[in-house]
Homo-oligomer: A and B are copies of this chain.
């Protein structure tokens, strides 16, 4: 994805496309998997952890990325679909490969609708499947 497209994208979500943000977004979208703060930090030596952290938070607040707690000990971030508002209808299963540590959005697998007992409300959900991915098998 080229920088121009990315800038448009961020602007369309009311986020000013600074150099850092563009870089973070580009890295996330190009990687094709979910990345942690530490993953991102490694990929560009020079940039401060806190800057990346704040870029991610800004993205998350504006439905540009969503976070996944895959149980690996660090939260990962993945780009949202175009029209995502991070609500129940946008939720999907995430797959965590216990061999390579890759976490992938399974956008083709929406989180199944569960009927909760009386009295519980349902705001959000995480459904993480652990196993071995095709690459590692």
A12 CA to B93 CA in the complex, in Å? 36
Instruction: Name the segment of A21-29, A78-86, A109-117 touching the other chain.
Output: A109-117
The residues of B that contact A122 with a CB separation of less than 8 Å are 129-131
Q: Determine the residue in chain B with the shortest Cβ distance to A93.
A: B114
Is the pair A121, B137 in contact by a Cβ cutoff of 8 Å?
A: yes
Give the size category of A's interface with B.
20 to 34
The residues of B that contact A95 with a CB separation of less than 8 Å are 116, 120
Number of copies: 2
Interface check A124, CB cutoff 8 A: yes
A81-137, CB < 8 A from B: 93, 95, 98, 106, 108-109, 112, 114, 116-134, 137
A137 CA to B71 CA in the complex, in Å? 28
Interface check A69, CB cutoff 8 A: yes
Is the pair A129, B119 in contact by a Cβ cutoff of 8 Å?
A: no
Question: With A114-B93, A117-B108 in contact, do A128 and B129 touch (Cβ < 8 Å)?
Answer: no
Digit string of A25-47 for contact with B (CB within 8 Å is 1, else 0)?
00000000000000000000000
Question: With A69-B71, A93-B114 in contact, do A126 and B128 touch (Cβ < 8 Å)?
Answer: yes
Rank and list the top 7 A-B pairs by shortest CB-CB distance, nearest first.
A119-B134, A124-B130, A121-B131, A112-B112, A123-B131, A69-B71, A121-B132
